[in-house]
Amino acid sequence: MTRLTDFRRRVYAALLEVPRGSVTTYGALARRIGCRSAQAVGQALKANPFAPSVPCHRVVASDGSLGGFCGAREGEEIVRKRRLLESEGVQFSPDGRVKPCNIVMMARSESPPMETLDANAFSPLLSVDGK
């Protein structure tokens, strides 16, 4: 059985704060949880076992481009990410980037509210490293 690290739990909990119709950036999500690495956040999202309940498709690159999705940076998965975002009301500019009005920047916090992780939806994976 897969167990979540504390880091991944914090990434997923913070991501639940991004409302439908909006996106955030890998960097903003990293800052939200007190992490200096947008790439580490991307790796946690790549391993997200709770998608789409924990909506990793709502995270984009800092320039508004789509970034990655399901381990891909182009092709079918990126097309699917865009369709998911469009279905939620996210708007795109002609160059394919998310319009700035849809990007939410998240305030920094050392500990996003863990109660946002619905224990029924995410158990038994919520324990940290088998504890």
Structure tokens, 42: 């991307």
Half-sphere exposure of 76 (CA within 13 A, CB side): 0
Residue 10 to residues 52, 94, 106, Cα–Cα distance (Å):
17, 34, 14
| Catalytic residue numbers, as ranges | 56
Q: 119 — alpha (psi -120 to 50), left (phi > 0) or beta? A: alpha
d(CA 100, CA 44): 24
